[in-house]
Amino acid sequence: MLWTTLSLICSLLLQSCAAETPLWTNGNYGTSQPQAVQSNCNSDDVTSLASLSVGCFTTLRHSLYPEHSIRIKKTSFCDQTVQAYTGYIDISQTRHLFFYFFESRNDPVRDDVVFWTNGGPGCSSSTGLFMEMGPCRVLDAHGPKYHPDSWNTNTNIFFIDQPVGTGFSYGETVSTTEDGGRDIAAFISIFFESFSQFEGRPLHMAGESYGGRFLPFFASAVYDNNALLRRNGRPPINLKSVVIGNGLTDSIKMVLSYFDMECTSVSFPPILSISTCISRCENWMQDACIDVFDSMNCGAAYSFCRAAIGTPYARTRMNPYDMSRECDGDFFETECYPMRKYISEYLSIPSVRSLLGVDPGVPENFSACNYDIINNFSASQDELHPTITKDHIAALLERGVRVLVYAGANDWLCNWVGNERWTLGLEWSGRKDFVRKRLQEWEVGGKVTGKTRSAKGLTFATIDGAGHFAPYDKPKEALVMLQRWIAGENL
């Protein structure tokens, strides 16, 4: 979620007015009873994930990363058909990132690995896990229910709360995307080396929203870190692709695309007046943010233009994540999706937190998003560097790492127009081939699902009828998209 834009919208919204199997009832998961998590098990006995304990953490270390370690435990929850694990990435005893890991329902020994992060910056990946593509969903007050279209249908998948201070993560916070890249690379290296069954397994790094800013840096850190691994005789990480959903990769193009979404018929009929839609923002932002980056002038132009088009949209009371519907409920409480309140309530239950191994020092009331992190990133102008973010994507493509950029067609916040524009403008050796390709329809089950363009490892795709949280709105279509992508097939 792009909270630096939504902060304005929130306040205005407040002023204007297949069978699922329940896994949790009355604070318990099926037959699983929460156990108190001891501080540590004997890590010398660990040779595979299967040997991990439910009752205590095992600590994993790597000689190349003396400041990093992983605490991990087996956790029987959410999907009783697979093995699940939770834990922390500990960095210098001052920063601690929480993660969930679920094995594949298909063939965990052979299936690819997916790393998932949500955005914010500062919003927990519990949204991805419990609302979108996780093995269980919390959509009402009755707790988790089995999700048949989970992304662990054919992959092993991580969900991580990052940066520090997000979700169940705790410790010294950071304020820039670059700060987090090395920690993620270290985590992945330690995990893959500690559990030999994943050695050489294809890795796909995925996320949405502000993940469009995070992932190019995280994936680049993993790729560059392979040089260190090779020098020390260690197997490299087999990074295959980056998957960005409704991402904020180019904030300048995204803000300008709001005019298209509200003032033209690219997705819906125009909703704002002609006078409101006449803007000088494009030239101002080009001069201050692109041609010559000036921190003060770019920040002023960005804030002005965001407000110029964001304020009128907020007054419509339409959902910023889905232009086809009004906001459902109190924005600050649910962000237009009531199930987000249920997820937070569920993750505040003491027995659930005990089962997951959440550190006792983490605040008792779970918050999906941390406003301090949001404000820190905003103050550092982290999102106002689209050129270097796109340069990282270009560099990954040049090195054979494929990139999928998908967008739910109904999203306003990180819409398909802005994402298509930056992919068409990306400077890399495959640009001419990519630009020459026309958008083509892609289908799932014989029905048109959206449009796509692909060349030289870069793919852009839209998902019709979906908003910002595309796997929530269109779970089957999103799963098929992922399966085709991982298999190397055309969408």
Cα 473 to Cα 121: distance, rounded to the nearest angstrom: 22
For the chain, list the domains and their CATH numbers. 3-254+382-486 (3.40.50.1820)
Cα 491 to Cα 482: distance, rounded to the nearest angstrom: 9
pLDDT at 23: 33
pLDDT at 72: 92
What six digits make up the tokens of 422?
């930056």
- In three-state secondary structure terms, 377 is helix
pLDDT at 39: 61
pLDDT at 178: 82
Cα 462 to Cα 278: distance, rounded to the nearest angstrom: 27
As annotated, the active-site residues are 209, 411, 468
Cα 438 to Cα 452: distance, rounded to the nearest angstrom: 8
Report which residue type is found at 408.
G
Cα 276 to Cα 264: distance, rounded to the nearest angstrom: 12
pLDDT at 419: 98
Asked whether the beta carbons of 105 and 99 are under 8 A apart, the reply is no
pLDDT at 438: 96
Cα 78 to Cα 425: distance, rounded to the nearest angstrom: 42
Cα 490 to Cα 442: distance, rounded to the nearest angstrom: 9
pTM: 0.90
Asked whether the beta carbons of 100 and 142 are under 8 A apart, the reply is no
pLDDT at 82: 93
At 181, phi and psi to the nearest 5? -60, -45
User: How many other C-beta atoms lie within 10 A of the C-beta of residue 210?
Assistant: 29
User: How many other C-beta atoms lie within 10 A of the C-beta of residue 40?
Assistant: 12
What dihedral do alpha carbons 455, 460, 464, 470 form, nearest 10°? 140
Asked whether the beta carbons of 83 and 100 are under 8 A apart, the reply is no
Cα 368 to Cα 121: distance, rounded to the nearest angstrom: 11
Please spell the DSSP secondary structure of 247-314, one letter per residue: E-S-HHHHHHHHHHHHHSSSSS---S-HHHH---HHHHHIIIIIIS--HHHHHHHHHHHHHHHHHHHH
CA-to-CA separations, 50 to 45, 83, 202, 220, 308, in angstroms, rounded: 11, 8, 21, 31, 55
Rg of the chain over all Cα atoms, to the nearest angstrom: 22
pLDDT in tens, the chain (491 residues): 454 455 544 443 333 333 232 233 333 333 233 333 446 776 555 656 777 888 788 998 888 888 888 999 999 889 989 999 999 999 988 999 999 999 999 999 999 999 999 998 989 999 999 999 999 999 998 999 999 999 999 999 999 999 899 999 999 887 778 877 888 888 898 888 888 888 899 999 999 999 999 999 999 999 999 999 999 999 999 999 999 999 999 988 998 898 888 888 888 888 777 777 766 677 788 888 878 777 888 888 888 888 888 888 888 888 999 999 999 987 777 889 999 999 999 999 999 999 999 999 999 999 999 888 888 887 777 777 788 899 999 999 999 999 999 999 999 999 999 999 999 999 999 999 999 999 999 999 999 999 999 999 999 999 999 999 999 999 999 999 999 999 999 99
- In three-state secondary structure terms, 156 is strand
Cα 140 to Cα 205: distance, rounded to the nearest angstrom: 29
Tell me which DSSP letter residue 382 carries: T
Q: Which residue has the tokens 């973010």?
A: 389
